[in-house]
C-alpha cells in the first residue's frame, strides 16, 4: 500500500485537504467498521471516511 497516494483526500464538507488517519502503533491507516479509510479535516475539525466523497 502506497501511503503517499492516499495521504490526502478532499473533505466533502468544505473542500479542504483531509489528512489520512494512521494507527501509529501499527503504522497502518485507520479504518472504520466498513474498512473505509478515515481522514481528519483541519478546516472543519471533523473526520470523514473515504466513501463519503464520490469522485
37 near Zn ion, rule: CB under 5 A: no
φ/ψ (deg, to 5) at 8: -125, 150
- Exactly one of 6, 43, 51, 52 binds Zn ion (CB under 5 A); that residue is 43
Q: Which is nearer to Zn ion, 16 or 23 (CB)?
A: 16
Tell me if 11 contacts Zn ion by CB under 5 A: yes
Secondary element (H or E) of residue 22: strand 22-23
Compute the CA torsion angle 44, 11, 49, 9 (nearest 10 deg). Answer: -130
- Contact region with Zn ion (CB under 5 A), list: 2-10, 23-31, 32-40, 42-50: 42-50
Rounded-to-integer distance, Cα 20 and Cα 6, Å:
7
Contacting residues toward Zn ion, per CB under 5 A = 11, 13-14, 16, 41, 43-44
Amino acid at each position: 500500500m502506497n501511503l503517499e497516494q492516499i495521504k490526502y483526500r478532499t473533505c466533502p464538507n468544505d473542500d479542504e485537504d483531509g489528512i489520512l488517519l494512521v494507527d501509529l502503533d501499527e503504522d497502518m491507516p485507520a479504518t472504520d467498521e466498513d474498512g473505509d479509510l478515515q481522514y481528519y479535516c483541519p478546516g472543519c475539525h471533523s473526520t470523514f471516511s473515504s466513501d463519503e466523497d464520490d469522485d
